Chains A and B, each alone.
Chain A
Amino acid sequence: DIQMTQSPSSLSASVGDRVTITCQATQDVNNFLNWYQQKPGEAPKLLIYDASNLETGVPSRFSGSGSGTDFTFTISSLQSEDIATYFCQQFDTLPYTFGQGTKLEIK
């Protein structure tokens, strides 16, 4: 199975900060990589697909980049409503696998 490793596991930042999360795969997943946001008590929500494409309706402060084994998720200006856990997920090869998550808190 392809293992996905996110960094950091948790992050504390201030409103307005630029926030970056990385996701590394144990093998090339091409750009078959998605990012999800999960707010406390809610189901995950798809934010970014194919590594860098913004899902319809998602604010433009969210972005993604990367290919191969190394990917980055960025919030350009953190808002209070962005408090959540973020997960990457690869779909290059079954089984689909997720990163362990990055918990984002407001400083």
Chain B
Amino acid sequence: QVQLVQSGAEVKNPGSSVKVSCKAAGGTFSTYGITWVRQAPGQGLEWMGRIIPILNIANYAEKFQGRVTITADKSTTTAYMELSSLRSDDTAVYYCARLRSRFGNYARWGYFDLWGRGTLVTVSS
């Protein structure tokens, strides 16, 4: 049974960076992508970006362009999300989720079918 295991909670100073990991324990990335979604306290879900290793592509929400980098290491089945220039309003739970393609044909990706438990990132001086 594949699980997405995320790294532990972080406390960061404003202006610094954070790198959150997401390991697909018991599985591979071979036919899936990984996407990142964050949730500020008491708020809704906000999509940040995705990586699809089999297509060698990464896409980011415009809001985070230039501040976020999503990478994946197929050899260790681990994905990473790095967010820089942190501000207090970046305080949130950051989730990774497995991204599945429609009919498995890689043409359209959009199903977040398995989620990690989330990583709380607190930005405070």
Q: Which residues of chain A have a CB within 8 Å of any CB of chain B?
A: 1, 32, 34, 36, 38, 42-46, 49-50, 55, 87, 89, 91, 94-101
Contact = CB atoms under 8 A, between A and B. Distances in A.
25 contacts: A1-B62, A32-B110, A34-B110, A34-B112, A36-B45, A38-B45, A43-B115, A43-B118, A44-B45, A44-B95, A45-B115, A49-B111, A49-B113, A89-B110, A89-B112, A91-B108, A91-B111, A95-B59, A95-B61, A95-B62, A96-B35, A96-B47, A98-B45, A99-B44, A100-B44
A91 B45 contact: no
A46 B35 contact: no
B32 interface: no
Chain B contact residues: helix, strand, loop or mixed:
strand
B73 interface: no
Given A87-B44, A96-B47, A98-B47, A44 B112 contact: yes
Given A87-B45, A94-B59, A98-B46, A43 B117 contact: yes
B44 A46 contact: no
Contacts of B45: 36, 38, 44, 87, 89, 98, 101
Interface string B73-98: 00000000000000000000001010
A94 B49 CA distance: 9
B52 to A, nearest CB: 12
Given A87-B45, A95-B62, A55 B115 contact: no
Range, interface on chain B: 20 to 34
Given A32-B110, A97-B47, 6 more contacts: A34-B110, A34-B111, A46-B112, A87-B44, A95-B59, A95-B61
A101 B110 contact: no
Given A94-B59, A98-B45, A55 B113 contact: yes
Contact of A36 (B35, B61, B112, B118): B112
Contacts of B109: 91
Contacts of B113: 46, 49, 55
A55 B115 CA distance: 14
Tell which of A42, A94, A98 has the most Cβ of chain B within 10 Å.
A94
